[in-house]
Amino acid sequence: MSGFGHWLLSDRPLSRRQAALGRAYTGWLGFARNRLAMLGLALVLLLALVAVLAPWIAPYPPTVGELSQRLQAPSAAHWFGTDDQGRDILSRLMHGSSITLTVVALVAVLAAPIGLLVGTAAGYAGGWVDAVLMRITDIFLAFPRLILALAFVAALGPGIENAVIAIAITSWPPYARIARAETLSIRQADYINAVKLLGAGPARIVLRHVMPMCVPSVIVRVTLDMAGIILTAAGLGFLGLGAQPPMPEWGAMIAAGRAYVLDQWWVAAAPGAAIFIVSLAFNLLGDGLRDALDPKAAK
């Protein structure tokens, strides 16, 4: 092991930073030992690579097609067949990976922190704050997503960027509910009381002690949701708040493939499989992260 490695793993860290870095390194080692998590990471990196290199490695342009070539079954010339406009599906998948991944990442990054914050604050504070926050959560949960989508189209115009905002606004409540439930279980724990005795204020307690405990389950939920976000964006596309044709966004491809499900199954199956692989990759990654972040789960 190199000198740097020794330094990181030292039993007696000489500074806070060394300790923190050392923890991170241990976590990484633990993560790396988890083969499935590494598989997940590898898949995610592969996807990112495909997204970046698509313009060079895709065999056909994604938005050009001949009607005479439409709905062709997978073959040597078109590995995943052609869609209803005669466009090569594999090329569209490749070009669409960057759009799709961006949408998913943005929604996750926007919605999860909001949900965590609201949930832990409500669970910890209790009383009025809890009641009001939970009822606001109820309002967002019950609110029909479609109406927000239509309103966005009216106000901001069509397009997938606005879809991200609309989906994020309606996605945070489940995270809040889960975080609150976990917070309720641990707010009376000894270590919380200990930190309180040390004089920590509620904000510090929530941010630095309660929230990290809720992060693992939220991560699991977020990775599960990734596929759902893509499919939701596809659903909103019908109202104009989604990928505009001929953009090769995967959700839009699935939605378009719906009319051909019975006979030309490949039109919907290809993007569906791609979504599944992305889901799997993020899920494996998420589980690995969860295990790495949770010191108690490490065995």
Partner 1 sequence: MPELNLTRRALAWAAAAVASASLGISALPLHAATPKDTLVLAMAFDDLISLDPAQAFEISAGEMLGNSYDRLLRSDVKDPSRLLPDLALKWAVSADGKTYSFELRPGVKFASGNALTAEDVVFSLQRAVLLDKTPAFILTQFGLNKANVASRIKQTGPLSLTLETDKAYAPTLVFNCLTATVASVVDKKLVMSKEQAGDMGAAWLKTNYAGSGPLKVREWRANQLVALERNDQYWGQKSLPARVIYRHVKESATQRLLLEKGDVDIARNLTPQDLQALATNKNVAITGTPNGTVYYFSLNQKNPILAKPEVREAFKWLVDYDAIGATLIKNVGVIHQNFLPLGLLGAATDKPYKLDVAKAKALLAQAGHPNGFKVTVDMRNVQPVQGITEAIQQTLKRAGIEMEILPGDGKQTLTKYRARSHDIYIGSWGADYWDPHTNADTFARNADNGDNAATKPLAWRNAWNIPELTKKSDAAALERDATKRARLYQEIQAEFRKTSPFVMLYQQTEVAAYRSNLSGLKIGATSDLTYLFSVAKR
Partner 2 sequence: MVRSVPSWRWGAAAGRSFGRFTLVIAFTYLGLLAVTFFIGRVIPVDPVLAIVGDRAPEHVVQRVREELGLNLPLYEQFGRYVGQALRGDFGTSVLTSNPVWEDVKQTFPATLELATCGILIGAGFGVPLGVWAAVRRGGFVDHAVRVMGLVGYSVPIFWLGLMALVLFYAKLGWVAGPGRIDVAFEFSVQRVSGLMLVDTALYAKDTGDWAAFRSALSHLVLPASLLGYFSLAYISRMTRSFMLNELAQEYIVAARAKGLSETRIIWRHALRNAMVPLVTVISLSYAGLLEGSVLTETVFAWPGLGLYITNSLQNADMNAVLGGTLVVGTVFIALNLLSDLLYRVLDPRTRDTRTGNAR
Site of interaction with partner 2 (CB under 8 A)? 126, 131-132, 134-139, 141-144, 146-148, 150-151, 153-155, 174, 177-178, 180-182, 184-189, 216-217, 220-221, 224-225, 227-228, 231, 234-235, 239, 254, 258, 261-262, 268, 272, 275-276, 278-280, 283, 287, 290, 294, 296-297
Q: What tokens does 278 get?
A: 């992305």
Interface region with partner 1, contact rule CB under 8 A, candidates 23-31, 131-139, 182-190, 237-245: 237-245
Which 8-state DSSP code applies to residue 206? I
Which of the choices partner 1, partner 2, none does residue 246 contact, using the CB cut-off of 5 to 8 A by kind? partner 1
Q: How far is the CB of 90 from partner 2 (least distance, A)?
A: 19
Interface region with partner 1, contact rule CB under 8 A, candidates 39-47, 160-168, 214-222, 260-268: 260-268
Q: What tokens does 136 get?
A: 């606001």
Amino acid identity, position 114? I
For residues 11 and 259, the answer to whether their CB atoms sit within 8 Å is no
Please classify residue 137 by burial: count the beta carbons closer than 10 Å to its beta carbon, then call 0-12 exposed, 13-18 middle and 19+ buried: buried
Which of the choices partner 2, partner 1, none does residue 85 contact, using the CB cut-off of 5 to 8 A by kind? partner 1
> Which ranges of the chain does DSSP label H, i.e. alpha helix?
3-8, 16-33, 35-57, 89-125, 127-142, 145-156, 160-186, 190-197, 202-205, 211-237, 250-257, 266-293
Picking from 51, 74, 180, 48, the residue whose alpha carbon sits closest to that of residue 118 is 180
Contact status: 64 vs partner 1 (CB under 8 A): yes
Contact status: 68 vs partner 1 (CB under 8 A): yes
Amino acid identity, position 281? A
- CA 119-123-126 angle, 5° bins: 130
Q: How far is the CB of 36 from partner 2 (least distance, A)?
A: 8
Q: 89 or 134, CB closer to partner 1?
A: 89
Residue for token pair 């500074």: 15
Start-to-end CA distance of the chain, whole Å, equals 23
**Separation between Cα atoms, residue 119 and residue 259, nearest integer Å:** 41
Contact status: 27 vs partner 1 (CB under 8 A): no
Q: 8 or 152, CB closer to partner 2?
A: 152
Q: 109 or 224, CB closer to partner 2?
A: 224
- Subset of 262-281 contacting partner 1 (CB under 8 A): 262-264
Q: 21 or 43, CB closer to partner 2?
A: 43
Contact status: 147 vs partner 1 (CB under 8 A): no
Which of the choices partner 1, partner 2, none does residue 96 contact, using the CB cut-off of 5 to 8 A by kind? none
Picking from 273, 251, 217, 225, the residue whose alpha carbon sits closest to that of residue 79 is 273
Residues that bind partner 1 (CB under 8 A): 63-68, 70-71, 84-85, 150, 153, 158, 237-240, 242, 244-246, 256, 259-264
